[in-house]
A and B are shown apart, each in its own frame.
Chain A
Amino acid sequence: SQQGEEDPQALSIQEGENATMNCSYKTSINNLQWYRQNSGRGLVHLILIRSNEREKHSGRLRVTLDTSKKSSSLLITASRAADTASYFCATRHTGANSKLTFGKGITLSVRP
């Protein structure tokens, strides 16, 4: 399966702490994307990192990519209660017309 696997499955932290979520995949990628989903809602794109990039920032988000280990990490700094959601890693694999493949997601709970 080309599906990415997130780790941990669930994460509970205190407001103000940093949250680190990991994603591993098996085959070569064109890019890796992170999405957020609030309970009962649609997915919202957070950030995209290409295979030739190692780190990218967007506001309180920092994503890293290690293609040699086939893994990525999403760091949310200074977490807020409003960051409580599920986070999904999605991989766009190399090859023509490659579909976007989603992992099972990580449930993040940020306690006020």
Chain B
Amino acid sequence: DGGITQSPKYLFRKEGQNVTLSCEQNLNHDAMYWYRQDPGQGLRLIYYSQIVNDFQKGDIAEGYSVSREKKESFPLTVTSAQKNPTAFYLCASSPSGLAFTGELFFGEGSRLTVL
């Protein structure tokens, strides 16, 4: 089935450690996105990529890094520089980049807890 797969579903991290969240899609979409969701909050855009080997910062990119070496994959690294990393992270994709005005397709999310 076509879709977006995020892993792991749950992740625990000690302070000072970097962690990488995986996002893979088989929808043949050009664009991919990472959002952060905090309790009772909307989604905030961390990074997005409109094409392979290119990505742009979103609204809250500090403390995060991404790569887009393959069309199917858009991993997010939460670095130790992120001051409050405990959150629910959502990956999404769309057929093309910001010129596309339709809907986003979301993965099931990864919940990161910093101990």
Contact = CB atoms under 8 A, between A and B. Distances in A.
Range class of the B interface residue count? 20 to 34
Given A88-B42, A99-B45, A42 B109 contact: yes
B53 interface: no
Nearest to B90: A42
A104 B102 contact: no
Interface in A19-40: 30-31, 33, 40
Interface in B90-115: 90, 92, 97-99, 101-109, 111
Nearest to B107: A42
Given A31-B101, A43-B90, A92-B101, A102 B106 contact: no
Contacts of B41: 104
A44 interface: yes
A92 B104 CA distance: 11
Interface of A: 3, 30-31, 33, 40-45, 48, 88, 92, 96-105
